[in-house]
Amino acid sequence: MKITKKIVLSFAAALLVGIAGAEVGNSGTSFMKKALEPFVKSGELPGSVVVLHDKGQEEICCIGYADVAAKRPITMDDHFMQCSQTKGFCGVTIAKLVEDGKISLDDPVSKYLPEFSTLWITDGSTTDVRRLTKAKNTLTIRMCMNHTGGFWFELPNYTQMGGWSRRMPLRSVAAMAAATPILFEPGTRTQYSNVGIDIGAAIIEVVTGMRWEDYLKKEVLDPLGMTSSGFVPSAEWLKNKIELYDCQTNAPARWRECNPAMARPYGDDRVFASAGAGLWTTTRDQLKFYKMLMNLGVGDNGVRILKEETVKSILAKSTRPAGMGGYSLGLGTSEDGWFGHGGAWGTNCQVNWKTKQLKLHVVQLCGMPRPWWAASAEAEKAFFKAVVNNRAAGEYTGRMK
């Protein structure tokens, strides 16, 4: 076969797919690709998808591999477990019921789940009933959703439950939580907890008469066109999932079959939804959800999920008492308009409703170190600065015409 310049260029392009990625944003910038490329080449970062957005201008970086051994390039349509980012989805469903007047954030949890009428507090060192004290404060929905309810991160039989691929219904999780001593007086401290979010989802089931995952699909996922998101991944989803890796110091990341917190099997009748950390999705789908939050309740497809004021008042704004940090209903918040959430394997998305900006990162990595974080943060700054400068230049040019 005659080797032509065209063939050589085509071969070179194929080799670069894993590095450069197939998706291209409209901003004309490549700050993130340049920042992450050295870490992909060293193998420390197997692959990542990053989307940066500023008032309609986007930089999209699909770099590295979803499966290093198979040399399968990472894409925006590969499935992954988003872990704790699921909490924000539960927060939106709670917000919908508040908006509809069906619940109040300050309703006692026992109004819907009577087993929570009496709670016992442990000092954390024992569950000996002789050393427990009865809780005085009323546990509310707000406390469950913003991690001030006093619940443990997970229930004692967490591994038997199958981790975030739950092996029992949400109502059963709630009943077990009610029977387990809590760590402190409700509303007085913070303790990050998957259990509290699952209790919020169990309340939704009581109020709606639907499984929480079905309510989420009907009211949020389907209207936004998130057809590639769900709690029981199909064989096709798993075939094209982003593989999970362990970080290594100054060495290529090491593949692992699964993490005990996300135990197999992933997709059969033994799996129940976990609102705290259980939703499978893709970058393209996840982007639809977070853009809806950025746009104060309206999806990119024009469908309104929540009222503008609802997003501003109970999703983008802290619902905790003063001095306990910024956290709303399953979402971290700040005073400058940024809010969002991360996940255990390194996924993260933050949006700013005031400036209409977004930064979404997808990786599937366990542990530390993550030496690319600093370079990634600098790339974000460079992107937002460049877009602002270009916009200013465009406005100036327009005035001169």
Given a cut of 50, whether residue 308 has pLDDT beyond it is yes
How confident is residue 78, by pLDDT bands cut at 50, 70 and 90? very high
Is pLDDT larger for residue 281 or for residue 270?
281
Listed by start position, the domains of the chain span 76-370
pLDDT digits (tens, 9 = 90+) for 187-226: 999 999 999 999 999 999 999 999 999 999 999 999 999 9
Classify domain 76-370 by CATH number. 3.40.710.10
How confident is residue 267, by pLDDT bands cut at 50, 70 and 90? confident
Rounded to a whole number, what is the distance in angstroms from the first to the last CA of the chain? 56
Q: How far apart are CA 391 and CA 384, in angstroms?
A: 11
pLDDT in the model for residue 164: 64
The overall average pLDDT reported for the chain is 90
Given a cut of 80, whether residue 158 has pLDDT beyond it is no
Query: Which of 234, 256, 232 has its CA nearest to residue 244?
Result: 256
pLDDT in the model for residue 10: 34
pLDDT digits (tens, 9 = 90+) for 316-370: 999 999 999 999 999 999 999 999 999 999 999 999 999 999 999 999 999 999 9
Range scoring the smallest mean pLDDT among 19-28, 71-80, 253-262, 298-307 = 19-28
pLDDT in the model for residue 15: 38
What dihedral angle (degrees, nearest 10) is formed by the CA atoms of 108, 109, 110, 115? -150
Most confident of 91-105, 124-138, 249-263: 91-105
CB atoms within 10 A of CB 148: 28
Given a cut of 70, whether residue 119 has pLDDT beyond it is yes
Q: How far apart are CA 387 and CA 378, in angstroms?
A: 14
Given a cut of 50, whether residue 62 has pLDDT beyond it is yes
Given a cut of 60, whether residue 19 has pLDDT beyond it is no
pLDDT digits (tens, 9 = 90+) for 235-247: 999 999 999 999 9
Supply angle C-alpha 216, 219, 223, rounded to 5.
115
Provide the CA 56 distance to its chain's centre, in angstroms.
22
How confident is residue 7, by pLDDT bands cut at 50, 70 and 90? very low
Single-letter residue type at 248: Q
Q: How far apart are CA 352 and CA 18, in angstroms?
A: 30
